[in-house]
């Protein structure tokens, strides 16, 4: 179960909540964190469907790494409502080096557990995952 490179397991709740976001749109976003002592990825925060992008970014810690999934709604040039599921690897420059290394080495395996990710972003500061970045990546 654990990733050979980083030794991190993925808590079942991570996958279950992601399936609820993907299939039922129960959540706008999910923020995940690595519990280093337990050596596993767990759900940190859940955003209700009514929560917007600002609420999502406010829940990302300024100096700690996190993984996040965000269900981004947009309107195409043909005026069609669509959504894309973004995976965000949030690793601020101010986070601990050890933390950055653990998150980097666990990311690909964790992302594979979440079947249905459509776009991936890596961000070290809020400007790298602004709404303009989301909009530019959906086409």
Euclidean distance between CA atoms 101 and 114, whole angstroms: 21
Please check the confidence at residue 4 and state whether its pLDDT lies above 70. no
Q: How does pLDDT run across 71-124, given as a tens digit for each residue?
A: 999 998 899 999 999 999 999 999 999 999 999 999 999 999 999 999 999 999
Supply the pLDDT for residue 8.
85
Whether 3 has a pLDDT exceeding 70, the answer reads: no
CATH class (in words) of the domain with range 9-138: alpha beta
pTM: 0.92
Q: pLDDT over 90 for what percent of the chain?
A: 91
Rounded distance between C-alpha atoms, residue 19 and residue 7, angstroms: 24
User: Is residue 6 very low, low, confident or very high in pLDDT (cuts 50, 70, 90)?
Assistant: low
Structural domain boundaries in the chain = 9-138
pLDDT at 5: 46
Angstrom distance (rounded) from CA 130 to CA 96: 23
pLDDT, tens digit (0-9, with 9 covering 90-100), for 66-86: 999 999 999 988 999 999 999
């Amino acid at each position: 179960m654990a990733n050979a490179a980083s030794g991190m397991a993925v808590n079942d709740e991570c996958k279950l909540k992601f399936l609820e976001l993907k299939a039922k749109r129960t959540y706008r976003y999910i923020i995940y964190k690595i519990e280093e002592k337990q050596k596993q990825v767990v759900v940190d925060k859940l955003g209700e469907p009514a929560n917007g992008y600002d609420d999502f970014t406010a829940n990302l810690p300024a100096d700690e790494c996190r993984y996040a999934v965000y269900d981004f709604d947009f309107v195409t040039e043909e005026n069609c409502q669509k959504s894309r599921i973004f995976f965000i690897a949030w690793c601020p420059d101010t986070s601990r080096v050890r933390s950055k290394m653990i998150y980097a080495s666990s990311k690909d395996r964790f992302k594979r557990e979440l079947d249905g990710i459509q776009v991936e972003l890596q961000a070290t500061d809020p400007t790298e995952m602004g709404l303009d970045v989301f909009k530019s990546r959906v086409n």
